[in-house]
Chains A and B, each alone.
Chain A
Amino acid sequence: MLNKVLKRIVISIPVLIGVVLAIFIMLRIVPGDPVTTMMGEHVNPAVIEKISREMGLDQPMIVQFFKYVFNALRGDFGTSYRLNRNVTQIILDAFPNTVKLSLMAAAVAWLIGIVAGIVAAVRQNKLLDRMFMGCALMGVSMPVFMTALILQYVFAFKLKWFPVSGYDSWKAMVLPAIALGWNSAGSIARMTRSNLVEVMQNDFIRTARAKGLREKGVIIRHALKNAMLPVVTMMALQFSSMLSGAVLTESVFGVPGIGRLAVNGIETRDMPLLQGTVVFTTILIIIGNLIADLLYNVLDPRIREGA
């Protein structure tokens, strides 16, 4: 088991390096000199050269890359062009907001998704099932910003239950969390339902029923345990994708999170800021996927005991 975990971790290291390298290269094939882009066309060439040297942009790309990786490993993502602050610090300021938002969204998604999925599976092909699955498909198909805008209009503007934007109180975070979690709730509900329906056809379910167990017990003690395995993995994957998908929700509700930073980085052509945010988020997601993968191994006795 330990061996497997180690092996899985070792495998993801080259992917990590590959991802950082890919971002690094993609951001540097920008036509034109980054300093000129930043300062504007009409700046003294000598000044540009001086700044390039200060930023190490005059060195060969491979040297820059290793410097970047080395600094990143020590937690230093460089200095923002525009804000003239350490990128790591900027990210750490914004990160708690995104984490708070994602955690609440995940709670929404897991709760709604699993409950709706179970109910739908139990009432398979009945009206409630059709209704829930219809909603789930709508949830999956709605652009995040549409959910966000509708929530904002109905619950913040019309009903005045929640503030229109903001992020300092938990109340202000409710609408963004639902907006962000809605999509995932849809896919989790669909998956829970289809797995549960499949598991319910197994022989051990028939046995459990035959020995006189009540239907509730059959579902909770026997079926659900088996059906939830892939769902748990999916939940972990969804969480890490929320961290990156938060950008749209953040922009509608004005939450200053990681996603906003990335968009700012693009709008103001602040390469270190964009690079830092993307590298940081992607690393989080790779770690999230790794955890999801390991979780699956730990939870499924067939994999845990076997091979």
Chain B
Amino acid sequence: MSSFEKIRVVFDCNTFLQAALKAKSPAENCYRLVEEGIVKLFVSKDVLAEIEDVINRPQIRERFDALTDEKIKDFLNSISELATIVEKVSKVFSLPRDVDDEVYIDLAVEAEADFIVTRNKDLIDLMTDYDTESKAFRQKFRFLKIVQPLEFLRIVEEKIKETFE
């Protein structure tokens, strides 16, 4: 049997919250890969702070009132237990069209991640667009791919098949 080298991955805030709130979603299945130890997840303190703040915003708490402080605490504990927390993240890339998403690229590069999993178009477009930023991104970080949750599941499945069949 071949050895299985774990895929290194960064999830963005939307992926984390989709995983938490939407049962049987592709994002939930991505998180399950982390729970089962099939992929290696990386987070930073900035990302954890973003998740904690965003999930507590009125848009979410008032709409889904079954969401309690305790559940949020358990969720953040789950992420902290399962993921490797990267303490120091250097700024390596500027994304003027969506500066708020730069943290994920910086984290992925610091963690030497293979993938960023996101449903955010500004990030996903970096893989295919021909503007200066996108071309610079692909040239500078050839090892890093940005994919949607469903695509990530397909890639992991393929890798498992290749390794064990």
The reply to whether chain A is a binding partner of chain B is no
